[in-house]
Every structure is written in C-alpha cells, then in structure tokens.
Amino acid sequence: MELLSLKKRYNVQRGSLPRFKNVFWGFPRCGVWCDERTCFVDAKFLTTKSPGLSGLALLWILGTSLSAVAIGIDLRMGHPFYLGSSLSIPFLLAAIISGALGFWAVPLLRAFKTGQFIREEGPQAHYRKAGTPTMGGIFFIPVAVLVALASGPTLALLASSALVLAYGTIGWIDDWQVLRRRSNKGISPRIKLALQVLFAAAFCLWAMASQPDVAVASDAITNVALPLGLTVPLGALFWPLAGFVLVAESNAANLTDGLDGLMAGTGAISLLGLGMLIEASHPDLMVFCAALSGSCLGFLVHNHNPARVFMGDTGALALGGALGAVGILSGNLFGLLLVTLLFFAETLSVIIQVGYYKATKGADGIGKRFFKMAPLHHHFELSGWSEIQVVSTFYIVCAGLVGFALSLA
C-alpha cells in the first residue's frame, strides 16, 4: 500500500536509479528513493515474476552437498570420525558453532552500529544494503581457528592460524576505519598493502627457517608440483612467489566479497576442495581447511541473500590468507591456483578494467570500460542477472574447478 500511494502521489519512474545529488529520504527495502521533486522505483521491485531460487534454498543445497562430500571422502579414505583425522567432523562442528554464534553476534554488531557504507560508484541496487552490519569475520574466523587447534596443534597449524588472525586484524582495522569515518574508505591502500606484505614476509621467513633437511631434493617445499608427476624446482625464487601468493589471495578474496553469500559460499567450496587435495600428505592442514570451510557455511546462515551481516575485510582477508598459507606449506601452489581460479578471474577483471580505461582515455580525461563494472560479479549483475543467479553460477563454477583439480591430483 505504501508503494502504491507513492506511485499516485509522486512522479514515480520505473527503471534504474539515477545518482541523486541530494537524497532526502527513501525506502531502501522497497527500492524507493527521492530527491527534491521526483521519486524513483527500482524496476526489480515492481516485477511480477516468480523469484525462483531463494538465498535460503541455495544455502541448504550448498550445505547438504558439502556435508555429503566431506562424509563421503572420509568413508572412501577410511578416515576415523574424530576431530583430528577427518574432513567431516571439523567441518560440521565449525559450521554448527559458527551458525549458532551468529544469532548472538549479529544483533550485537547491529547494536554497536557497525552498518555498512555503500560506495557511490557501486551498483545502485546495492543502496538498499546500507546499514547492514559488517565485520562479521570477527566471529566466524576465530571459531574455525579454535576448532582446528582443538584437533592438536602442530607448527604448520599454529603458523597458518597466526597468519589468518593477522590478516583478519588488518581487515578489522580497515573495517573499523570505515565505520569511524562513516564512509566507504578505510585505511589507505598503501598502508594496507604494506601490512599484508609485512605479515607475508614474516610467514615466509618462518617457513624457510623451519623446513627440515630433506633426503630427496624433489621433496623440498620449493618444488612446485604439477600434474602428471612433474615438478618445477624454483629454489630461492619460491619465496618471493610465496609472498606474492599470500598478498594476491587475500586481495582476490576481498574483491570477491561483493554479493550476499558469494565469498562465504565460494570460500567454503575452495577450502574444502583444498583440504581434499592435501588430505593424504598434510592431515593437520586438511583439518584446518575443513574447519574454515565449515565456519564459512555457518556464517552463510546469516549472510545468504538477503544478508543480515557482511564478513567485511575482517573475514575476506583472513580467508584469502588461509588459502595462501595452506597452498604454500603443502607444496600445492598449482592446486591452489585451480581451486581459487574464480578469485583470480575477479582480480583479473579489475586489472583489465583499470588498464583499458587508462589506455582509452581521451582528451576529456574519460576512458572506455571493458566491463560494465568490475569486479566480474558486478558485470553480470548489471547485465540483468539477479544476485542469486550470479552467486549460484559462481558456486557451480567454483565446484567445477575443485573437481578439475581433484581429477588431476
């Protein structure tokens, strides 16, 4: 009734929302925005089409599928069903704890006024998400770390957990600055990158110093394993590559975190896939991956469309750091590349967009855009796809990449 009265009383136009210089008031949940004289209604709020797959249904499909895969792998490989030796137990335990904890943490984040500020240059349909609590990584990342450490701490597990918490702290500082300044700008990109490089360097130095002498040269961590039993011995060049992987993975995960449930779901798939790749050689890191994957799924209970909380940089940077750390310590950088190729595509779309815009910039200082918007998920969104269509498609692609990586292992 409220929407109908607005249509009669004001000059309401059906279509995409313009960029108002002064938005006086609006109804974000109804997609209605007004300036001094005109009201606009986002077209998707006036549609009579069936909504199709819901965010909750997508959560159930993903959760059931990942749980079945984790249990199936344990049965096939003969893993005992206890915390330190299986995929399914840490996965399910972290999922249950994270999901339950969210019912307390999300209202608390809302009470502390941690509402997200939406960037002006983003998709206009996202304006209705303004005010949704962010910084959700502050509760589901520690759950995963504690579950993993409860399985029996090893040096690799402790180092990976420390890096995850360090990268999560960088993200928390950035999220806090966004809230303090009441804008979408956190700490400066240079400071953020410097902190990421600093922690990556510390992690690589520890990994370098802690490597035992190996009897067979092919067993060294500096050899990158490839399909068909091939290896590439990088020697000292491995460590700059490892540092780059950590920084690149964390930023790629952060770029992917742009739609409701996107990073949480794809992160859960990628982490569980990476855990399956290394289950025979590094059972401690397998448990670490499973716990993080399950914690992502538990977070998705509150982050599925329509999201009640966002993970923020606190969660996204930590997840990217976790993926990079496991890939490095397990000597499986090629497998890591395959299972996170979707995140790489998101990053590449931003690089292409910026490069193309600068290359085509004319005398007026305005260039052309290769994509409608970057990262890649926004391009599909502006092409007419719904958020759930984009997210579900990215889940399928990510699962396909994991399957491909497993087939080559």
277 has pLDDT over 80: yes
Judged by DSSP in three states, 53 sits in: coil
pLDDT, one tens digit per residue, over 130-161 is 778 999 999 999 999 999 999 999 999 999 99
Query: Average pLDDT in the 219-242 region?
Result: 84
The reply to whether 59 falls in a domain is yes
Using the CB atoms, write b or e for 127-147: b if 16+ within 10 Å: bbbeebbbbbbbbbbbbbbeb
User: Lowest-pLDDT range, 122-131, 321-330, 349-358?
Assistant: 122-131
15 in a structural domain: yes
Total structural domains in the chain?
Answer: 2
Q: Is residue 193 part of a domain?
A: yes
Specify the higher pLDDT residue, 76 or 32: 76
pLDDT, residue 356, reads: 93
**End of a domain among 317, 333, 349?**
333
35 and 67 in a single domain? The answer is no
Contact between 140 and 102 under an 8 Å Cβ cutoff? The reply is yes
Place of tokens 């007026």: 364
Average pLDDT of the chain to the nearest whole number: 85
Indicate if the pLDDT at residue 15 is higher than 60.
no
Q: Which of 14-23, 56-65, 120-129, 265-274 has the lowest mean pLDDT?
A: 14-23
Q: Which residues of 80-94 are buried (b: 16+ CB within 10 A; e: fewer)?
A: eeebbbbbbbbbbbb
Q: Tell me: pLDDT of 95 over 80.
A: yes
CA angle 107, 110, 116 (to 5 degrees): 135
How far, in Å, are 21, 137, 406 from residue 278 at the CA level? 53, 25, 10
pLDDT of residue 259: 94
Query: Within a domain: residue 359?
Result: no
Residue 263 located in a structural domain: yes
What percent of the chain is modeled with pLDDT above 70? 82
pLDDT tens-place string over residues 299-315: 999 999 999 999 999 99
Is the same domain home to 85 and 17? no
What residues have CB less than 8 Å from 25, skipping those under 6 apart? 34
Residue 86 sits in the same domain as residue 26: no
Q: What is the pLDDT of residues 171-185, one digit of tens each?
A: 999 999 988 877 777
User: Do 96 and 28 belong to one domain?
Assistant: no
Q: Which domain holds residue 135?
A: 55-223+232-333
Amino acid at 290: A
CB 129 within 8 A of CB 305: no
Residue 136 falls within a domain, yes or no? yes
**Over 70: is that where the pLDDT of 120 sits?**
no
pLDDT at 46: 36
pLDDT at residue 8 greater than cutoff 60: no
Residue 218 pLDDT more than 60? no
pLDDT tops 50 at residue 5: no
Shared-domain flag, residues 138 and 32: no
Instruction: Verify that 21 and 96 share a domain, yes or no.
Output: no
Q: Say yes or no: 116 and 247 in one domain.
A: yes
Q: Which of 264, 248, 215, 255 is nearest to 327 (CA)?
A: 248
- Whether residue 406 is contained in a domain is answered as no
pLDDT over 70 (residue 266): yes
Give yes or no: residues 83 and 10 share one domain.
Answer: no
Q: What is the pLDDT of residues 316-349, one digit of tens each?
A: 999 999 999 999 999 899 999 999 999 999 999 9
Q: Under DSSP, is residue 353 helix (H, G, I), strand (E, B) or coil?
A: helix
Check whether residue 150 and residue 298 sit in a common domain. Answer: yes
Task: Examine the pLDDT at 30 and tell me if it is beyond 50.
Answer: no
Residue 231 CA from chain centroid, whole number: 30
Q: What is the mean pLDDT of residues 235-264?
A: 95
Of the pLDDT bands very low, low, confident and very high (cuts 50, 70, 90), residue 6 is: very low
Which residues on adjacent β-strands are paired with residue 142? none
Same domain, 9 and 148: no
CB 144 within 8 Å of CB 292: yes
Residues 122 and 11 in one domain: no
Q: Is 224 helix (H, G, I), strand (E, B) or coil?
A: strand
Are 14 and 114 within one domain? no
Please report whether residue 361 resides in a domain: no
pLDDT of residue 126: 64
Query: What sign results for the dihedral spanned by CA atoms 28, 30, 36, 38?
Result: positive
Residue 11 has pLDDT above 90, yes or no: no
Angle between helices 155-181 and 312-329 (to 10 degrees): 160
